[in-house]
Chain A
Amino acid sequence: MAQVFHKSANNIAKASIALAVILAGLSFYVITQLARSSYLTGAYLEKQQPVQFSHKHHVGDDGIDCRYCHTTVETTASAGMPPTQTCMNCHSQIWADSPYLEIVRASYRENKPIEWERVHDLPDYVYFNHSIHVNKGVGCSSCHGDIANMPAVYQVNTLQMEWCLSCHRNPADNIRPKSEIYNTSWVNNLTEEEKKRLMEEYKIRPKEMLTSCSTCHR
Chain B
Amino acid sequence: MLKNRLLGLLTVMLLFLGAGCRYDMQDQPRYEPYEKSDFFNDGRASRDLPEGTVARGFLREDKAFYTGKKEGVTNVQVQTTTDASGNTVVTTFPDAVEEFPIPVTEELINRGQERYNIYCSVCHGPTGNGDGMIVRRGFTKPPTYHDDRLRNAPVGHFYDVITNGWGRMNGYAAQIPVADRWAIVAYIRALQIKQNPNGVKPLVAESSKKAAETLQDKPESSDKNTSQVKTELAKNQKGGVR
Decide whether A and B are members of one complex.
Answer: yes
Q: Report A-chain residues with C-beta under 8 Å of the C-beta of B166.
A: none
Contacts A72-B240, A124-B26: A85 and B174 contacting too (C-beta < 8 A)? yes
In whole angstroms, what is the CA distance A63 to B119 when docked?
Answer: 11
State how many angstroms separate the Cβ of A12 from the closest Cβ of chain B: 9
In whole angstroms, what is the CA distance A115 to B101 when docked?
Answer: 40
Q: Which of A31, A65, A112, A179 contacts B18 (CB 8 A)?
A: A31
Residue A123 at the chain B interface, CB threshold 8 Å: yes
* A65 B118 Cβ-Cβ under 8 A: yes
Stretch at the interface among B49-57, B64-72, B132-140, B150-158: B132-140
Contacts A35-B18, A78-B33: A71 and B7 contacting too (C-beta < 8 A)? no
* B170 A88 Cβ-Cβ under 8 A: yes
Total interface residues on B, CB under 8 Å, equals 47
Contacts A35-B18, A75-B237, A179-B225: A23 and B134 contacting too (C-beta < 8 A)? no
State how many angstroms separate the Cβ of A110 from the closest Cβ of chain B: 10
Interface string of B11-49 (1 = CB under 8 A from A): 100110010000001111010111010000011100000
Total interface residues on A, CB under 8 Å, equals 41
State how many angstroms separate the Cβ of A214 from the closest Cβ of chain B: 16
Q: Report B-chain residues with C-beta under 8 Å of the C-beta of A201.
A: 226
State how many angstroms separate the Cβ of A162 from the closest Cβ of chain B: 15
Residue B164 at the chain A interface, CB threshold 8 Å: no
Q: Report B-chain residues with C-beta under 8 Å of the C-beta of A75.
A: 236-240
Residue A207 at the chain B interface, CB threshold 8 Å: no
* B139 A94 Cβ-Cβ under 8 A: yes
Residue A50 at the chain B interface, CB threshold 8 Å: no
In whole angstroms, what is the CA distance A65 to B8 when docked?
Answer: 53
Q: Which of B4, B8, B133, B224 contacts A16 (CB 8 A)?
A: B4
State how many angstroms separate the Cβ of B221 from the closest Cβ of chain A: 8
Residue A62 at the chain B interface, CB threshold 8 Å: yes
State how many angstroms separate the Cβ of A191 from the closest Cβ of chain B: 17
State how many angstroms separate the Cβ of B16 from the closest Cβ of chain A: 11
Interface string of A71-95 (1 = CB under 8 A from B): 1100111100101011011101110
Q: Report A-chain residues with C-beta under 8 Å of the C-beta of B44.
A: 113
In whole angstroms, what is the CA distance A177 to B138 when docked?
Answer: 35
Which residue on chain A has the smallest CB distance to residue B1? A16
Contacts A31-B14, A75-B240, A85-B170: A68 and B138 contacting too (C-beta < 8 A)? no
Q: Report B-chain residues with C-beta under 8 Å of the C-beta of A63.
A: 122, 133
* B28 A125 Cβ-Cβ under 8 A: yes
Interface string of B117-133 (1 = CB under 8 A from A): 11100100000000001
* B34 A89 Cβ-Cβ under 8 A: no
In whole angstroms, what is the CA distance A157 to B166 when docked?
Answer: 43
* A62 B7 Cβ-Cβ under 8 A: no
Residue A45 at the chain B interface, CB threshold 8 Å: no
State how many angstroms separate the Cβ of A209 from the closest Cβ of chain B: 22
Residue A27 at the chain B interface, CB threshold 8 Å: yes
State how many angstroms separate the Cβ of B65 from the closest Cβ of chain A: 19
Interface string of B95-121 (1 = CB under 8 A from A): 000000000000000000000011100
Which residue on chain B has the smallest CB distance to residue A82? B175
B interface with A by C-beta (< 8 Å): 1, 3-4, 7-8, 11, 14-15, 18, 25-28, 30, 32-34, 36, 42-44, 117-119, 122, 133-134, 137-140, 168-170, 174-176, 222-226, 236-240
Which 5 A-B pairs rank lowest in CB-CB distance, beginning with the nearest? A124-B28, A78-B33, A27-B11, A65-B118, A179-B223
Given A62-B137, A115-B36, 11 other A-B residues pairs in contact with their CB atoms under 8 A: A16-B3, A35-B18, A63-B122, A63-B133, A65-B118, A81-B33, A112-B42, A124-B26, A125-B25, A178-B226, A179-B223
